[in-house]
Amino acid sequence: MPMWSGASAVTALALVLSLVMSLLWSQSAQARSLPDFTELVEDNSGAVVNISTTSAPTRGSGGAYPGLPFDERQFEQLPEFFQDFFRGPQSPFGNSPGRSEPRRSMGSGFIVSSDGYVLTNNHVIEGADEIVVRLSDRRELPARLVGTDPRSDMAVLKIEDGDDLPVVKVGRSQNLKVGEWVLAIGSPFGFDYTVTAGIVSALGRSLPTENYVPFIQTDVAINPGNSGGPLFNLDGEVIGINSQIYTRSGGFMGVSFAIPIDDAMNVFRQIRDQGSVARGWLGVLIQEVNRDLAESFGLKRPRGALIAEVMSGSPAEAAGLQSGDIVLAYDEDPVELSSDLPPMVGRTPVGETAELTVLREGREMTLDVEIGKLPEPGEQLASAPSGSTNGPASAPLGLRVEPLPAELAGSTDLKAGVLVSEVGPGPAREAGIRPQDVITEIHRKPVDSVAAFGRVIDELPADRAVSVRIVRQGRAIYLVMKP
């Protein structure tokens, strides 16, 4: 059995102690590297408000839960504890399912000026007859609705008796980076001044409900009642407004979305100064450029926004933009995804000129476009191609086409193209072409008649993917076909 000398034992003990101290120091340093939110919360809670609204009762809601920020399905999926809480007399909404009483709802907001302007979400105050703002010192003050912007889900309130109120410090969302810490203050489920933290998960998210807001995605725990509350960075600056969550249960699932403060402040200033919001408008329908489309248009990699349709009378038409153009840059800012383009256009003041870099027939070119005003929802947006049609024909792509019926042309703005009457096995079916689609272009060549369709098909290359522009249910899209 080996024996250690006294000196060796001391050396070994010192080494062990050194390793233990190193481990403890590492854990302590790691703990110190995690953010401490206490000072941030203390400095900013005073400018965060709870917003409660009251609106006239509605009858015949078909099983909805008046006053609660959920629909019936979401309510039933909540844990039993929360269902009992909201049904009971202690509910912060003062209402229980099925009762015909004034509807009450609750959300969050924050003060951006000492004279009492408050930002929140439109869905928090929508339909409200009375709005009351409660401050952290428990004062309850009536608020007036200054204006709303449903497109961005924003609303601006004014505290009527506001004077020298605490305000948040507004930051710049354009400086955000994925992975940085953020913190939310709000009233989830009516629990006032709840603080939750997380990181920025992604930037520039486009949601199906809104293409003009490049949402900030976070993993901050956001629940009903957090809506309209501020999202802070570690410098104590507001960089977003908590607005939406992705959920299958009615509660938090790790995916939350916030309106960037740069966009929110632009909306706020327009509502405060003009009473409404005007957004820039280009007048095109766009789609994503995938790998196959990139190949068919001669791009080395997928990028840009593919213009599927140019609307009649739009700024895009006046500037000479065409369907099949791929927008690669907007005012020298690269357009990597199609979802990048709408916010860029929307932020441009109406009447200003923007420079677009587009790819057309394999070469880049620049076009100047005078940006118009985005039409209000419900206003008609029309497009009108032109051309003529001929008799029926079939082709070796697995589909049969026929002239565009007069009744179809009369009921839509389509004036050119061929109607797909049958689709069998072959490249057309694999590309996603369906019966009743209208083909207006193949391989960047117009198809305005059955005869033209036949000529274009005869000239198709056999060794590469080709683009096919179709109109389906009134909307133009590009598909990729591989003969």
Could you list the active site residues?
123, 153, 227
Which residues make Cβ contacts (< 8 Å) with residue 313, sequence separation at least 6?
Answer: 283, 382
> Of the candidates 276, 197, 245, which has an alpha carbon nearest to the alpha carbon of residue 35?
197
Alpha-carbon radius of gyration of the chain: 29
Other beta carbons within 10 Å of 337: 14
Q: Does residue 381 contact residue 311 with C-beta atoms inside 8 Å? A: yes
DSSP track, 166-178: --PEE--GGG--T
Interior angle at CA 203, CA 341 and CA 111, nearest 5: 100
Residues 224 and 226: their CA atoms lie apart, in Å, by: 6
Other beta carbons within 10 Å of 15: 10
> Of the candidates 186, 143, 236, 239, which has an alpha carbon nearest to the alpha carbon of residue 50?
186
Residue whose pair of structure tokens reads 């009536």 in the numeric block = 142
User: Which residues make beta-bridge pairs with 221?
Assistant: none
Residues 35 and 253: their CA atoms lie apart, in Å, by: 23
Residues 289 and 287: their CA atoms lie apart, in Å, by: 7
Residue whose pair of structure tokens reads 């791009």 in the numeric block = 299
Other beta carbons within 10 Å of 255: 16
Backbone angles phi and psi of 136, in degrees to 5: -65, -25
Other beta carbons within 10 Å of 73: 10
Which residues make Cβ contacts (< 8 Å) with residue 476, sequence separation at least 6?
Answer: 285, 308, 309, 323, 383, 440, 469, 470
